[in-house]
A and B are shown apart, each in its own frame.
Chain A
């Protein structure tokens, strides 16, 4: 401090001295653009001179300059330099923007970067600042809500898993709709959970043909380009990022009935099934009272088996639960999850070289038992200018992951914790109990014993008999270990002034080992025990050579050419085996098992060779035209048809730079752009689909064997997508408000379908390129500072998307597929379901609109012919899973050092087929759980309700799949909220730190939907299943730089 005073004094003297020379003094204050905080230590220099002054602790400066001459340059490490003309002002207050915002100055596009001011394509960019406070393990989680035209699914709570992404609708009916992920310029094969989000500098989402066509046959679904960080020249910086959090279940379980409600409901369902011509309701009630325990197997109450439910259908008022504390299976499966995420990174450089080195550690303990994810990640990115014409760099990363995975692979598997715990009735205990006293049965060590559902002759569980999700989850293993090594290297030669030749080579190597074990006590592995291993090595290489030419002629003509060649080679080796017959306990090595069940290996190759080029021409920063072309040859197709051409053309026009008319002064920038092009989708699942093949491994005893598998199709080619894009981008009111409005029309053709062959030909289908579909839509993005004062800023960033999807050509008239029916003129996501009409007040029947009048099951209500027989129910198109519109809203408030940021994603309209609810509304299974809505069921003639009669054995009619299970899919998701505080510079300086940011953050804080429990954003097709429900993560974090 003393030093600063002294310095100021000296400077003052200097200023005074200089003042004599017809100079004047300029003063002012320098603040941080984002936080509004004063910035000490900023260098204020008169351009082109050595005259300079620093700012003081309050950010104030004073500098003596020649009268009305020159510019002041404000500079500070980590911030963008700012130049201000002095003119005749004597006070100049300046706000500096930090370098992270610098990213928006160029956008990362295919094989290079582009100037957003003239770029003709549609691209959305997400910077590192959007990631730094997000406790996300998989970077795709951070994309939700950030970009217009990008739909992100709800994701999974499975540690390490990320959500799926759809860019501008669906381009394929049967094959991949996932975008191509490109990491540091190369299609990434290793899985995005291998990337440490802290290493990511930016994410570019390329949406239209002009931006994606250079990825040719892999571009139909858009491209997500992830660029990792690199060092900054002439500085050294160490960053530490630490996050520590807790996780829990984000979407709650459905509201289900409790034991006291359940018994009478099942009594009634059984009673109603007994009533017929010869059995009166009274007789049936008596029998139900006597029998119901036998059917449900367990009597959790302290009353005799035949007195649980009285003959009037109500629970015996004396009934008290014997093991009321032991009925919560969900609780037995969950725990307090946690998440720790630490990264240390060094970045910096000299005049000629830069480096970024990081080491990260992540440990995620899922809220579900036996699910976790541990990741070590390291990255090193070094670039150097060896000479003035040669530049080279290496970017290497390594990731090691260890993860226990929850068994949610099969949505209806008995080992699926969500399926089992959701479906089991509320009367079955987790542990064994004495049927008389309800006391826990203990083993020799005094431990409680899992109740497998048949522990005593008087207690047999009719639902999931002999299975036990807690025991199986605990005793089984399902884990993997994965090593990923990735490398990118390049050499770049600049020659003849405007030419640049770059050779890139990249490799991604994944080694994966999965171990499974099924125990000897309970479940599919019992009684023998089973163990399996899957090992694979996935290696992908990409090598390319790029030639760039860039020149500005006469100051107004900017031309930019790119020519390139690329090889892609993916090679996959798999080994898997399983054995059964465990010999000694607690050893899951394969030699501890007696019998080999399977032992197989295979190898796959996938190769693409490509030639491509791009040309851009800009006149006077005003008019830009661009074109790109790529020719891909893919090993997936037969040699005569494997080469395909993909291309795009685009143009942009900066209206604000136009000279023949003048924009209002509040318009800072307006750009019109449009593009059209054709891209392809060669990701058709199978690598050898064109070939007629016999499958190996159909050995018959000891004799070798193979059998016919496919007929092949030598004419098979990639799916195509013709993509049109038109948009306007703008910045208004001195850049206070910016945004874009875009229209897109993506038309898919040559869509691949499994064309059915006669079953009698022995091969059920063959894939052929027949089918077309389009997605047309509009997307809007608006971002701006609603309030902006020196102390307080409110920034709002909103995006909104709507689109329409329609099938225009199919190989068949129509195809019913699950809850949908594909048909020309309809959408891929249109529900095709029985039309539910309501409940018949006379008898509680579920009524559906009828196909025909049929005396035995139909009636006419008003002008409607309805039926109680599901087979006579009429199907209709019942709405679409595609929302009317959806998007994201980010509100950011900054006040002094505080920043509060909240990201909401929303979806309005569209339908959701809630099959999980439908299952809970099914009363056909003794022992199956029920939704609370069952309490509203029809009971007596005259009852007006929407829940039909309960009747075991008639659920095919009473609870048939129909539009009764469709629910409005609208939702509002509090995806991410964070509150951060930047320590005042004065304080952090005193701590010898450059910057200190502490924050609290939450992911998936709340999901508001029509029905509790509904995991509405699980898929894009409006369906759900028993998946690992997303996690809510609350974290405290800190970013330190020194």
Chain B
């Protein structure tokens, strides 16, 4: 009897203590499973917002990979208008043109550029291809897919400009571009030709514009709408030297954007607020979404207390600065004496130091980052018209912009290349620090020339010590493909080393 009792007791102890079937099923609370993302348009919208957020999120645990803001700094660091005080820290090797030519490093900027844009594409592809079964309003689905298409176009555009040889309208562009990623796959894809990449970019833009047209107003300026999409289309057309499309797209974008040019007061208020009437597209950062020392403003503002700003405030090329008329409000974005720079405590104040970018609150490194301003669209429009020989229209459109900056501005009477050159100078001044310079040099097939300005020689060399120029069309204008990609994607052909 006793035996039986014990045995029953024992058996039940062993049986009852083993757990229910789902005991070993656990799921994270700070993540969503991939399946849930596509179940509803509401979730899909959150996934779309996740992409918007990637534009100001840290990548690769690196202090100089803070999303699109960092990409902008990279584009200016490669140019000649962005001048450093010190060249020993962040952005030094980028400025020296070695970072984007270092295939092996996983912290160099070719790697950063490549992974950043493809990561956005991967997120966009999930939404473009996977929302068939999602529940929710059709308009919401259309907005998500439309914006995702614009993202895919814009990212491929950013990638092909960096890794491919420039698009040359005068020839067949069968040079290799970048892999076209149109579905979510881990299978490595070969490089498509530059022509093919641009074809897909335009297709995605057109499809996206169609989907976004007629929708209700976007929730915020971080989202795309048809006007922004057309602005991007204008950029793409400019890079393709397709002047008529560039002009048309820019014109439509200007009209549909609802934006107005900044007042002179607004112009010197720090380029940190998405509420600025001139901003068409930008990233908006809340205090609780701060990106600390990898923020755009942790490097590019004049008044945030980071080591980079205290030690290495950014300056403008003195040659360019000297071309800005005294009555132009833009003259006030830089100080040739340095005295008026609102430097942080213990920070140096340097000649030609910038005060275009300011943090609104010096306790936070954040600021909204502009991705597209009305001024750029006027510059695209004017350049596209000037290059088509429509000098009068071009001069008028340029004047619309410049009169807002400089009350004494007199409309240009130049024509032809002179007018184009004038517009390009204005582009450099107007868009200083906003991430255009390298791409402008490359699309216009211009050389890099850092001579004759206030660059400090030991920090400003390109490619090799003591060298301050890079010839137009040199192989170094192409980023090298990251070795990490080549290792696993055997279809990739490396650019000339």
| A-to-B contact residues, CB < 8 Å | 414, 452-454, 460, 465-467, 493, 495-496, 499, 501, 503, 522, 524, 526-529, 543, 545, 547, 565, 567, 580-581, 594-609, 633-635, 639, 642, 687-688, 691-709, 711-712, 756-764, 766, 812, 925, 953
For the complex of A and B, 3 pairs with smallest distance between CB atoms: A762-B122, A528-B363, A707-B50
Do residues B52 and A759 form an inter-chain contact, with CB atoms below 8 A?
no
Do residues B23 and A609 form an inter-chain contact, with CB atoms below 8 A?
yes
Do residues B488 and A703 form an inter-chain contact, with CB atoms below 8 A?
no
Which chain B residues lie closer than 8 Å to A603 at the CB level?
29
Besides the contacts A602-B29, A758-B489, A763-B186, what 6 more A-B pairs have beta carbons closer than 8 Å? A465-B307, A495-B6, A567-B19, A696-B30, A698-B50, A757-B186
Who on chain A is nearest to B121 by CB? Answer: A762
Which chain B residues lie closer than 8 Å to A708 at the CB level?
34, 47, 50, 119, 122-123, 126
A527 and B485 contact, Cβ closer than 8 Å, known pairs A609-B18, A694-B50, A695-B31: no
- In-complex Cβ contact of A598 among B14, B126, B290 (8 A): B290
- In-complex Cβ contact of B364 among A493, A528, A567, A953 (8 A): A528
Do residues A711 and B186 form an inter-chain contact, with CB atoms below 8 A?
yes
Q: Which of B231-239, B242-250, B262-270, B344-352 contacts A (4 or more CB under 8 A)?
A: B344-352
A688 and B31 contact, Cβ closer than 8 Å, known pairs A705-B49, A758-B488: yes
Who on chain B is nearest to A596 by CB? Answer: B288
Docked Cα-Cα span, A702 to B487, in Å, equals 40
Docked Cα-Cα span, A709 to B33, in Å, equals 10
Asked if B53 is an interface residue, CB under 8 A from chain A, the answer is: yes
- In-complex Cβ contact of A760 among B10, B179, B361 (8 A): B179
Task: State the interface size on chain B (CB cutoff 8 A).
Answer: 89
Do residues B118 and A706 form an inter-chain contact, with CB atoms below 8 A?
no
Do residues B33 and A761 form an inter-chain contact, with CB atoms below 8 A?
no
Do residues A700 and B52 form an inter-chain contact, with CB atoms below 8 A?
yes
A701 and B284 contact, Cβ closer than 8 Å, known pairs A501-B13, A605-B26, A693-B31: yes
Who on chain A is nearest to B179 by CB? Answer: A760
How close is A172's CB to chain B, nearest CB, in angstroms?
22
How close is A312's CB to chain B, nearest CB, in angstroms?
25
Docked Cα-Cα span, A520 to B187, in Å, equals 51
Who on chain B is nearest to A705 by CB? Answer: B49
A700 and B50 contact, Cβ closer than 8 Å, known pairs A528-B364, A758-B186, A760-B179: yes
Residue of B46, B189, B310 most packed against chain A (CB within 10 A) = B46
| B-to-A contact residues, CB < 8 Å | 2-3, 6, 9-10, 13-14, 17-19, 23-37, 45-54, 57, 88, 111, 114-115, 118-123, 125-126, 178-179, 181, 184-189, 219-220, 222, 284-290, 293, 305, 307, 310-311, 344-348, 361-364, 458, 465, 482, 484-485, 487-489
Who on chain B is nearest to A461 by CB? Answer: B346
Residue of A493, A606, A609, A698 most packed against chain B (CB within 10 A) = A698
How close is A376's CB to chain B, nearest CB, in angstroms?
33
Do residues A698 and B49 form an inter-chain contact, with CB atoms below 8 A?
yes
How close is B461's CB to chain A, nearest CB, in angstroms?
10
- In-complex Cβ contact of A545 among B17, B27, B345 (8 A): B17
A759 and B111 contact, Cβ closer than 8 Å, known pairs A595-B287, A700-B52: yes
How close is A706's CB to chain B, nearest CB, in angstroms?
5
Do residues A925 and B485 form an inter-chain contact, with CB atoms below 8 A?
no
Docked Cα-Cα span, A597 to B285, in Å, equals 11
**24 A-B pairs in the complex with CB atoms less than 8 angstroms apart:** A466-B305, A466-B307, A466-B311, A501-B13, A528-B364, A545-B14, A595-B361, A595-B364, A602-B29, A607-B24, A608-B24, A609-B18, A635-B26, A691-B27, A694-B31, A698-B54, A701-B285, A703-B46, A703-B219, A707-B50, A708-B123, A758-B488, A812-B487, A953-B465
- In-complex Cβ contact of B23 among A499, A607, A812 (8 A): A607
Docked Cα-Cα span, A594 to B35, in Å, equals 39
Docked Cα-Cα span, A600 to B288, in Å, equals 10
Docked Cα-Cα span, A503 to B346, in Å, equals 65
Do residues B25 and A639 form an inter-chain contact, with CB atoms below 8 A?
yes
Who on chain B is nearest to A582 by CB? Answer: B363
A764 and B484 contact, Cβ closer than 8 Å, known pairs A609-B19, A706-B50: yes
How close is A522's CB to chain B, nearest CB, in angstroms?
8
Do residues B220 and A759 form an inter-chain contact, with CB atoms below 8 A?
no
Docked Cα-Cα span, A284 to B34, in Å, equals 64
Docked Cα-Cα span, A698 to B31, in Å, equals 10
Do residues A762 and B50 form an inter-chain contact, with CB atoms below 8 A?
no
A707 and B290 contact, Cβ closer than 8 Å, known pairs A607-B23, A694-B32: no
- In-complex Cβ contact of B363 among A499, A595, A635, A761 (8 A): A595
Docked Cα-Cα span, A524 to B3, in Å, equals 71
- In-complex Cβ contact of B24 among A522, A526, A639 (8 A): A639
- In-complex Cβ contact of A580 among B123, B179, B188, B364 (8 A): B364
Docked Cα-Cα span, A702 to B286, in Å, equals 8
Which chain B residues lie closer than 8 Å to A758 at the CB level?
179, 186-189, 485, 488-489
Who on chain A is nearest to B86 by CB? Answer: A462
How close is B346's CB to chain A, nearest CB, in angstroms?
3
Do residues B49 and A694 form an inter-chain contact, with CB atoms below 8 A?
no
Docked Cα-Cα span, A699 to B286, in Å, equals 10
Do residues B363 and A953 form an inter-chain contact, with CB atoms below 8 A?
no
How close is B197's CB to chain A, nearest CB, in angstroms?
13
A597 and B287 contact, Cβ closer than 8 Å, known pairs A528-B364, A603-B29, A696-B31: yes
Docked Cα-Cα span, A602 to B45, in Å, equals 23
Do residues B57 and A698 form an inter-chain contact, with CB atoms below 8 A?
yes
Do residues A527 and B305 form an inter-chain contact, with CB atoms below 8 A?
yes
Do residues B24 and A635 form an inter-chain contact, with CB atoms below 8 A?
yes
How close is A416's CB to chain B, nearest CB, in angstroms?
14
Do residues B488 and A694 form an inter-chain contact, with CB atoms below 8 A?
no
Do residues A565 and B14 form an inter-chain contact, with CB atoms below 8 A?
yes
Who on chain B is nearest to A574 by CB? Answer: B30
Who on chain B is nearest to A547 by CB? Answer: B10
Which chain A residues lie closer than 8 Å to B50 at the CB level?
694-695, 698, 700, 705-708
Who on chain B is nearest to A600 by CB? Answer: B30
Which chain B residues lie closer than 8 Å to A760 at the CB level?
114, 118, 121, 178-179, 181, 188-189, 485, 489
Do residues B47 and A756 form an inter-chain contact, with CB atoms below 8 A?
no
Which chain B residues lie closer than 8 Å to A698 at the CB level?
49-50, 53-54, 57
A693 and B28 contact, Cβ closer than 8 Å, known pairs A547-B10, A698-B53: yes
- In-complex Cβ contact of B220 among A543, A700, A925 (8 A): A700
How close is B468's CB to chain A, nearest CB, in angstroms?
16
Which chain B residues lie closer than 8 Å to A687 at the CB level?
26, 28
A705 and B46 contact, Cβ closer than 8 Å, known pairs A465-B346, A580-B364, A764-B484: yes
Docked Cα-Cα span, A708 to B30, in Å, equals 13
Which chain B residues lie closer than 8 Å to A527 at the CB level?
305, 344-345, 362-363
Do residues B118 and A761 form an inter-chain contact, with CB atoms below 8 A?
yes
Who on chain A is nearest to B185 by CB? Answer: A761
Which chain B residues lie closer than 8 Å to A699 at the CB level?
49, 53, 289
Do residues B54 and A707 form an inter-chain contact, with CB atoms below 8 A?
yes
Residue of A466, A543, A953 most packed against chain B (CB within 10 A) = A466
Do residues A700 and B53 form an inter-chain contact, with CB atoms below 8 A?
yes
How close is A683's CB to chain B, nearest CB, in angstroms?
15
- In-complex Cβ contact of A465 among B6, B123, B125, B311 (8 A): B311
Which chain B residues lie closer than 8 Å to A495 at the CB level?
2, 6
Do residues B310 and A688 form an inter-chain contact, with CB atoms below 8 A?
no
Docked Cα-Cα span, A598 to B287, in Å, equals 8
How close is A267's CB to chain B, nearest CB, in angstroms?
17
Which chain A residues lie closer than 8 Å to B52 at the CB level?
700, 703, 705
Who on chain B is nearest to A499 by CB? Answer: B6
Do residues B286 and A701 form an inter-chain contact, with CB atoms below 8 A?
yes
Which chain B residues lie closer than 8 Å to A499 at the CB level?
6
A761 and B24 contact, Cβ closer than 8 Å, known pairs A580-B363, A698-B54: no
Docked Cα-Cα span, A763 to B121, in Å, equals 11
Which chain A residues lie closer than 8 Å to B484 at the CB level?
756, 759, 764
Which chain A residues lie closer than 8 Å to B17 at the CB level?
543, 545, 565, 567
- In-complex Cβ contact of A453 among B126, B219, B346 (8 A): B346
How close is A541's CB to chain B, nearest CB, in angstroms?
12
Which chain A residues lie closer than 8 Å to B126 at the CB level?
708
Docked Cα-Cα span, A763 to B123, in Å, equals 10
